[in-house]
């Protein structure tokens, strides 16, 4: 088996290169390649992994050329330079390193806030120019002031902690911040409108999404306290830059300190040159410690995934530890096949999928297994669907996906049941993994079976009447089709029955038509796994 190949297209620490090599991964270090889109697109097809910082833009065009790519690792927190929908559609895991530069970015926000409060850059420039404008620079204390934190995740919570150390009162707006977590970190959770009205200083620590774009617009600025000061070390685009300039000129906003801008590199910007604005060139993560941390972290994460299947800090797939990966693998295979079985039998639109986990499997990382079920289910209908993209596709199509966990054991150590509800009917199929690691079908529509998934199979629903097996087997024999395995089951004597037959080679369409024409047959379908 050939070694995985990773391309590093941005300036990463040499220590990251060494980690890849020490882990047995072939690494190509080209730190300036990210700036050359055409060259990157030309060679990306040769690599299993791509490690980047902010200079490389992993666009849909580049991702389309990445025929072997399994993972993109962003050394840092922001992944807005990666077209995640395109990567997801292709089954590429996108990872970031959300913790490696958290302290550094939080410290930069606090630094800018203090500099803003006392006009440090302006005072420095004036003094070094030989002026002694002692009376010009009248700052404000931060002790006792209210700091509004918009986004109280990894970085926001560190900022809150440091601000409390400076004797500030901290209020936070974050829809995902639980009341318990707010109490633990000592902040008051508020709605955005209340934060805008109460805060003396506002600092932003939220990703840039459709919901957060221009979260601070002209209307938001108007609702703020007169004399407010605003700090943005998160993402350009969270604040309407022109609206902020207007509010500064109107002296409604006393000052702003920005490390990030809508367009970067920012060589021109409406904020530049304003006497009450401090700007830095996206230095949030620019410390030697942070750059080393994120580089080492992304190298370890990518290596783990390429070598063991472990997934950590992925933005488009559930995390799986190195210990979990080998245990999950057979159940992910089972889940995909169960989904595929149900998908191949489904002929009308799916409204709901219910996945029930019983026994040991219920204690595993079921989100990853659910993704595999959906992948198998949707692929017969939609073609290019994978484990990574399937949940997104299901959501887009309005499918309701329910997960049910039952710790109590059935007749099996672990059991996964997939129930598909369509406009016409409801169908269930169950499977397990035996000690040999192979997935098995154990129940179809309430009928007990015990069948392995063959590459090529024929599924038949029939009336339990004498003569069916002979007619069916004779038909296959006449067509020179060899039977590999034959599984039968029935609800009751004379009731509904099923036959699941593995054959050698593909199933000719005319043979399926002849099977359907048999008098006892209700449904016949060729299946491929």
Pick the CATH number of 323-452 from 3.40.50.800, 3.30.1330.90, 3.10.310.10, 3.90.650.10: 3.30.1330.90
pLDDT tens digits, 221-239: 999 999 999 999 999 999 9
Fold of 5-99+289-308: Rossmann fold (3.40.50)
Average pLDDT over residues 405-433: 85
Mean pLDDT of 150-168: 94
pLDDT at 231: 98
Q: What's the whole-number average pLDDT of the chain?
A: 90
**Would you state the pLDDT for residue 270?**
97
Spot the catalytic one: 23, 282, 379, 440.
Answer: 282
Give ranges for CATH 3.30.1330.90 in the chain. Answer: 323-452
Confirm if 74 and 94 have CB atoms less than 8 A apart. yes
Q: What is the mean pLDDT of residues 119-137?
A: 95
Instruction: Give the pLDDT confidence of 440-460 residue by residue, as tens digits.
Output: 999 998 888 888 898 899 999
Please, what CATH class does the domain formed by 102-279 belong to? alpha beta
Taking residues 166-191, report their average pLDDT: 92
DSSP state letters, 206-221: ----TTTTTSB-HHHH
Catalytic site includes residue 235: yes
- The CA distance from 240 to 231, in Å, is 13
What's residue 311's pLDDT?
86
Q: Helix/strand/coil (H, E, C) string of 11-39? A: CCCHHHHHHHHHCCCEEEECCCHHHCHHH
Range picked from 50-54, 96-100, 178-182 for highest mean pLDDT: 50-54
Q: Is the pLDDT of residue 403 over 70?
A: yes
Give pLDDT, residue 487.
Answer: 87
Q: Is the pTM of this model over 0.85?
A: no
Mean pLDDT within 338-364: 88
- pLDDT, one tens digit per residue, over 486-518 is 888 887 887 788 889 898 988 888 888 998 988
CB 280 within 8 A of CB 271: no
Structure confidence at residue 108 as a pLDDT band (50, 70, 90)? very high
Q: Are 142 and 289 spatial neighbours (Cβ–Cβ below 8 Å)? A: no
SS3 of residue 319 by DSSP:
coil
The lowest-confidence range among 312-316, 386-390, 408-412 is: 408-412
Q: Examine the pLDDT at 83 and tell me if it is beyond 80.
A: yes
For residue 18, what pLDDT is reported? 94
Average the pLDDT over 239-259 and give the result. 98
- Look at residue 159 and tell me whether its pLDDT is greater than 70: yes
Least confident of 41-45, 199-203, 265-269, 396-400: 396-400
Three state DSSP letters for 282-304: CCCCCCHHHHHHHHHHHHHHHHH
What are the start and end residues of each CATH 3.30.70.260 domain in the chain? 454-529
Closest of 390, 405, 318 to residue 355, by C-alpha: 405
Pairwise CA distance, residues 467 & 451, whole Å: 23
255 vs 277: CA distance, rounded Å: 6
Q: Where in the chain is the domain with CATH 3.40.50.720?
A: 5-99+289-308, 102-279
pLDDT attached to residue 208: 82
379 assigned to active site:
no
Is the pLDDT at 382 greater than 80? The verdict is: no
Domain made up of 454-529: CATH architecture: 2-Layer Sandwich (3.30)
Inter-residue contact 146 to 198 (CB < 8 Å) = yes
Catalytic residue from among 26, 188, 194, 264:
264
User: Which listed residue (235, 241, 358, 440) is catalytic?
Assistant: 235
């Amino acid at each position: 088996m050939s070694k995985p190949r990773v391309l590093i297209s941005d300036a990463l620490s040499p220590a990251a290169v060494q980690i890849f090599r020490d882990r047995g991964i072939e690494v190509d270090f080209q730190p300036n390649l990210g700036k050359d889109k055409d060259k990157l697109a030309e060679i990306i097809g040769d690599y299993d992994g791509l490690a980047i910082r902010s200079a490389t833009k992993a666009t849909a065009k580049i991702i389309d050329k990445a025929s072997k790519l399994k993972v993109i690792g962003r050394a840092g927190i922001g992944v807005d330079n990666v077209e995640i929908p395109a990567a997801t559609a292709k089954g590429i895991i996108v990872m970031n390193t959300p913790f490696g530069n958290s302290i550094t970015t939080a410290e930069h926000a606090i630094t800018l806030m203090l500099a803003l409060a006392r006009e440090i850059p302006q005072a420095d420039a004036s003094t070094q120019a030989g002026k002694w404008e002692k009376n010009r620079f009248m700052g404000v204390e931060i002790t006792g002031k209210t700091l509004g934190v918009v986004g109280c995740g990894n970085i926001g919570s560190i900022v809150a902690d440091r601000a409390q150390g400076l004797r500030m009162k901290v209020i936070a707006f974050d829809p995902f911040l639980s009341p318990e977590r707010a109490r633990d970190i000592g902040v008051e959770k508020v709605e955005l409108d209340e934060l805008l009205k109460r805060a003396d200083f506002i600092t932003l620590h939220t990703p840039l999404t459709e919901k957060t774009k221009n979260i601070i617009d002209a209307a938001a600025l108007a609702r703020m306290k007169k004399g407010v000061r605003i700090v943005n070390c998160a993402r350009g685009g969270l604040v309407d830059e022109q609206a902020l300039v207007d509010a500064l000129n109107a002296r409604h906003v006393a000052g702003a300190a920005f490390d990030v801008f809508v367009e970067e590199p920012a060589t021109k910007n409406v904020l530049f040159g304003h006497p009450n604005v401090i700007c830095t060139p996206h230095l949030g993560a620019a410390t030697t410690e942070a750059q080393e941390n994120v580089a080492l972290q992304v190298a370890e994460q990518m290596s783990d995934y390429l070598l063991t299947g472990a997934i950590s800090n992925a933005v488009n797939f559930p995390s799986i530890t190195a210990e979990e990966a080998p245990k999950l693998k057979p159940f992910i295979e089972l889940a995909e096949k169960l989904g595929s079985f149900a998908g191949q039998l489904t002929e009308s639109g799916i409204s709901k999928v219910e996945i029930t986990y019983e026994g040991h499997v219920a204690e595993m990382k079921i989100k990853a297994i659910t993704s595999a079920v959906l992948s198998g289910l949707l692929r017969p209908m939609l073609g290019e669907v994978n484990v990574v993209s399937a949940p997104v596709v299901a959501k887009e199509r309005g499918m309701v996906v329910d997960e049910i966990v039952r710790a109590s054991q059935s007749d099996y150590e672990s059991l996964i049941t997939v129930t598909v509800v369509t406009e016409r009917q409801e169908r269930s199929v169950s499977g397990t993994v035996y000690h040999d690691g192979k997935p098995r079908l154990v129940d179809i529509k309430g009928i007990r079976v015990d069948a392995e998934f063959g590459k090529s199979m024929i599924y038949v629903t029939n009336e339990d009447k004498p003569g069916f097996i002979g007619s069916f087997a004779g038909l296959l024999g006449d067509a020179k089709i060899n039977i590999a395995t034959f599984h039968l089951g029935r609800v009751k004597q004379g009731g509904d029955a099923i036959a699941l037959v593995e054959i050698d080679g593909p199933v000719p369409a005319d043979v399926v038509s002849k099977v359907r024409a048999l008098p006892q047959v209700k449904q016949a379908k060729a299946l491929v796994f």
